[in-house]
Structure 1
Amino acid sequence: MTDADHARLLVEVSRDYYLDNRSKVDIAASRGISRFQVARLLAEARESGVVRIEISPPAHLDSGRARQLAARLGAREVVIAGSGGTPAATRESVARALAGVVSAHVRDGSSVGVSWSRTIEIAVRHLAPLPACDVVQLVGALPVDGSGDSLDMIQAFRRMPGVRTWPVWSPLLVADPGTAAGMRRQPEVAAALDRADDLDLAVVAVGAWTPTGSTVFPQVTGDERRAATTGGAVAECSGRLFDADGRRVVTPLDARVVGVTLDQLVRTPEVVTAGYGRDAAPGLRAAVAGGIATTVVCDDDAASALEELLGTTAG
């Protein structure tokens, strides 16, 4: 067999095995050689460079990409989860990643503030028992079809040994400013919201200020919505609106919210925020820019959109 014939055999056997998924036994039988000869030919093809195998981890497992994105974003850390085939699957993926980040940050004696979103609610289900710590509910309840709410979620923490909880026994949004002010003065609610001034860690979610991006958006009045548009609101966190630079957007909605303020989050040393989907990217970017968030947990689609906004590419 000439060198050219041998080289051609290396290519053909490699194509049969790697591209056509034929077994070594099948290749051997069709070419009148043994399967051990096929194995030697495949090994030679790899060693000589005829076959080059490249292992590329999924984008959401590329830690170099996450580090680059964090540096460009100005965040302490970015964690990228996989994007699922449906919103529910993506939410589950981000929730699992969020649970891992929270577990890594909580220490014995920590004061941890937890807001509510569907993603955070799922993340709590995946949390292993935390060290002895205080868990502060950051927002009142906002029931959503198909989900629980912040009051249900705080009970999950209460069942963890050594964890002391500070619930907010109120809706997130109440009918009018007077009622909201009265709820904030209630001793248990006031105690929880006051503790938001002295947190070690806060866990929140950022949603695009759109009908589908925020669970709060469908609850607001026309006047509140117009005020948000006028103020340039791009995202919502715990019922508080902010613009593309992370600046607070003041609307009549603020007076109806029973929950943490953006100023309290900005003063918190570590704030982990979650968001998913391309529409979440402007809000995630703004949250970091405004000091509302220090760590971002997102899916691959949101990460790609952030890279586009920031002028970076994966890798």
Structure 2
Amino acid sequence: MSDEGERGLDRRREMIEVSRAYFLEDKSKSDIAAELGMSRFRVARLIAEAREQGVVTITVNAGGVAADLSERVRQHLNLQRAVVVEAYGEPDEVRAAVGRAAGNHLGNTLKDGELLGLAWGRTLTDMVNSLDQLPRVDSVQLTGSIGSGLPNPVIELVRKTAEITGTPAKAIFAPFFIEDARTAAALRKQPEVAEVLSLFDRLDAAIVAVGSLNPRVTQVLEILPPHIQELLLGGGAQAEICGIPFTEDGDIVNPRFLRHTLSVSPDQLRRTPRVIAAVAGVAKAKSVLSVCRSGMVNEAVMDVGLAQALLALPRIHGRPRS
């Protein structure tokens, strides 16, 4: 084969490798560039060429629900409800479609007067940004704030939801993670914080995002000190919801970590009648299985690719959490 032919094959191999990481593993262009030792612009060019040359073909469905697949996932994960939305394509597009489907699910199943807990994450941001109506439910923030920027993304989710419902909302104006456990305990006793935390015992529903710690597809780790990150990962952390870390088997990693957080507790989530996970991307399959094994989630909204990846993993047996 000529040198030109060899170069063409190498280029095609690069397109396939980059495209697989971007479209199937839900990795960002920056992460792919770092892993493969190339610039982000080269990654973007390879993705664009892959689409132009037909190495990658994309079909985006308008967001219909795959009823049969939804039922298979519900049974496989031992859930009360599952919604699988027919969304394919680039990670941002799929996540937005799952967010819209999660919003529709809430709109169709919540009742006036209920109390809804809201976690945070990119899928939930897409959900709230796509909402135009909800039943008249009160809403409450399930975790403390992330970062110090304004507007804060966690508080914004609750604020925007309250604008849509026209009903009261409660936010935690304190950080999610506090280095000193005694300071965290003191914050929990502050009247304005204690008032919000007490609402977690009255939740009718909670909608949460699922973070993957292995592979890393989460924003939680980035806000934690390096030694805390090492502690959680060294303890086998696979997934997180509301900042609560779980092992692959669904056990909580290092429960003492939770003494440093302002968040809904594992017991409060278990007592919540409906805990809905809104999650997108094949890369999060093992993490979704982990949180479902924990028994804290009993409903899920996801995309077709993630659903199919989950069906290839071991089934969860037993009766669904009521």
The TM-score normalised by the length of structure 1 is 0.74
Q: Number of aligned pairs?
A: 256
**Which of these residues, 272, 277, 284, is aligned with residue 273 of structure 1?**
277
Structure with the bigger RCO (C-alpha within 8 Å, sep 6+) is 2
Is 1:123 the counterpart of 2:127? The answer is yes
Q: 1:76 to 1:220 in 2, by over 3 A?
A: same
d(CA) in 1 for partners of 2:62 and 2:216?
A: 28
Residue 209 of structure 1 aligns with an amino acid whose one-letter code is L
> Following superposition of structure 1 onto structure 2, how do residues 96-135 of structure 1 map, counting pairs within 5 Å?
96-135=100-139
Counterpart of 1:247 in structure 2 is 251
Matching residue of 1:169? 173
Compared with structure 1, are the counterparts of its residues 231 and 164 closer, same or farther at alpha carbon in structure 2 (3 Å cutoff)? same
**Within 5 A, what are the aligned runs for 1:223-238?**
223-238=227-242
Paired amino acid for 1:258: L
Percent identity of paired positions between Structure 1 and Structure 2? 29
What is the Cα-based RMSD across aligned positions, in Å?
2.6
1:210/1:217 contact within 8 Å kept: no
2:240–2:291 Cα contact (<8 Å) kept: no
How big is the shift at 1:199?
0.8
Structure 1 residue identity aligned to 2:223: Q
Specify the code of the residue in structure 2 equivalent to 1:68: R
Deviations 1:34-56 (A, max 9, x none): xxxxxxxxxxxxxxxxxxxxxxx
What's the CA shift for 1:184?
1.9
- Superposed, 1:1-315 pairs within 5 Å as 61-143=65-147, 149-160=153-164, 162-210=166-214, 212-250=216-254, 253-310=257-314
Segments of structure 1 that go 5 or more residues without pairing to the other structure are: 1-56
Structure 2: 5+ residue runs without aligned partners? Answer: 1-60, 317-322
CA deviation map 1:190-218 (0-9, x unaligned): 11111111211001111111474110112
Task: Give the 3 Å change call, closer, same or farther, for CA 99–71 of structure 1 in structure 2.
Answer: same
Shift of 1:300: 1.8
Instruction: Compute the displacement of 1:181 (Å).
Output: 2.2
**Per-residue deviation, 1:172:** 1.6
TM-score of the pair, normalised by structure 2: 0.72
AA aligned opposite 1:91: R
- CA deviation vs aligned residue, 1:77-104 (integer Å, no higher than 9, x gap): 2211244432211211110111111112
Task: Give the direction of change, closer, same or farther, for the CA distance of 1:285–1:134 in structure 2 (3 Å limit).
Answer: same
Q: Distance in 2 between matches of 1:227 and 1:143?
A: 21
Moved over 6 A (4+): 57-60, 144-147
CA gap of 1:139–1:254, structure 2 versus 1, over 3 A, is same
Q: Bigger CA drift: 158-167 or 295-304?
A: 158-167
Instruction: Classify 1:289/1:251 alpha carbon distance in 2 versus 1 (closer, same or farther; 3 Å).
Output: closer
**How far, CA to CA, are the matches of 2:239 and 2:101 in structure 1?**
22
